[in-house]
Every structure is written in C-alpha cells, then in structure tokens.
Amino acid sequence: MPLPQVGASFQGDRRGVIIPTTVTTILSMKEAVDAMTVKHSIKCQGSEILVRETGEGMYDLAIQATSNPLGYGNVLESFPDMEQAIGAADQFCKMLTAAQKQGYYLEEGHFVKPERERIPAKEGLREEVEVEAWIEQFIRG
C-alpha cells in the first residue's frame, strides 16, 4: 500500500480503510532549495551570513544562527546585484564583530544595547558608508 502524500487529508471508513479526501500541493524540498540558492557564506561571530539568490533577479543578505543550519535565517536587506550583496555581507560581518565587542547584539535588524539607542543594521550596508565611521557609533554608544 503506498504511503500517504505530504499535505494529504485522510478519513477512515467503518472497516478502518483509509480513504483520501483531499490532497494539497506543496513544494518539494528540492524546489524550495532551488528557489533560494546560497551564493556566498561567511562564518561570523557564531552566526552564518548568507547571500542567497531569490530567483527574482535579487540577492538577499541574511543572518542565521549556526546552531540552526536548517533554518533560512533573517533577511537583513535585498540587493539587485550579487557583488553588491557579497560586499555588504563582508561589511556586515565587520559591523557585527565591532558591535559585539562594544556589548551590542542583533535584534530584529537593529544593533541593540541596554539604555542605548537602537542602531538599524540596514544603514551600515550601503556602499557609501565607511565601515570605520560606522564602528565609531558603537564605541561612542
């Protein structure tokens, strides 16, 4: 007897025979993985910074805990160019390292430290931002 399909709904009859009532279509694991291909990955401060191609001509910069390698991580920003996204990933790792040295942590796309103003991580991902000047924000608090 074939196994039930994922996402299928079944009902038993009086004799205990399982009868399919509805079947829903879901993406196979391969289709889901193909939709978000990792193009660049950096291990940084206990996390993994990823650049993924979305399949829409865009590249997402995301951070994911290394303790949850099956997750998709949290998207920080999207870029139209892969090289731009990779540069932002490298820049973000430097920012994250500096922030953590000053007692900040990342929460919902912001660098946070008790009794300090939240600093949006997105602002430091633009190409024109000097990493050293950005790091000064963490030092000054």
Kindly report whether the global pTM for this prediction surpasses the value 0.75.
no
In one-letter notation, the amino acid at residue 65 is A
Taking phi first (over 0 means left), then psi (-120 to 50 degrees means alpha), and beta for anything else, what does residue 115 get?
left
pLDDT digits (tens, 9 = 90+) for 115-125: 888 989 998 88
Nearest alpha carbon to residue 75 among 95, 49, 55: 49
pLDDT at 56: 82
pLDDT digits (tens, 9 = 90+) for 83-115: 999 999 999 999 999 899 989 999 999 999 998
Alpha-carbon distance 127 to 54, whole Å?
A: 21
Alpha-carbon distance 91 to 130, whole Å?
A: 9
pLDDT at 52: 94
pLDDT digits (tens, 9 = 90+) for 9-61: 445 555 555 555 444 334 444 444 444 688 999 999 989 999 999 988 899 99
pLDDT at 17: 54
